[in-house]
Amino acid sequence: MEYTVTVRMPKKLKAQLDMLSKEEHVPVSDIVRESLQKYLAIRHFRRLRTKILPFAESQGLLTDEDAFRKIS
C-alpha cells in the first residue's frame, strides 16, 4: 500500500528537484522516495553505531582498520 505525503519546501529546493527530475527523466516522487529511504537508512546506521561504539571501544576497536583486522 502506498500513501501520499505533502511536503513544504522553499522554491529554490523545488526548482532543483524539478530540474533533477527533468535531467534524469525520473519522476519527482521517485527522487524523493529514494532520498528518504537513504536518509532513514543512514539515521538507523548512526543510531546503531552509537549503541555499539562503547562495546567496540572496550574490545580495542577504535578505528575502521581495527575492526577490519579483527574480522580478517
DSSP codes, the chain: ----------HHHHHHHHHHHHHHT--HHHHHHHHHHHHHHHHHHHHHHHHHHHHHHHTT--SHHHHHHHH-
Q: How far apart are the first and last CA of the chain?
A: 42
Q: Where in the chain are the domains? A: 28-71
- 25 pLDDT exceeds 90? yes
Residue 28's contacts (CB-CB under 8 Å, 6 or more residues apart) are: 17, 18, 21
- 60 pLDDT exceeds 90? no
> Which is more confident, 9 or 70?
9
The pLDDT of 32-38, averaged and rounded, is 97
33: cell is: 522516495
pLDDT at 58: 86
> Which is more confident, 63 or 9?
9
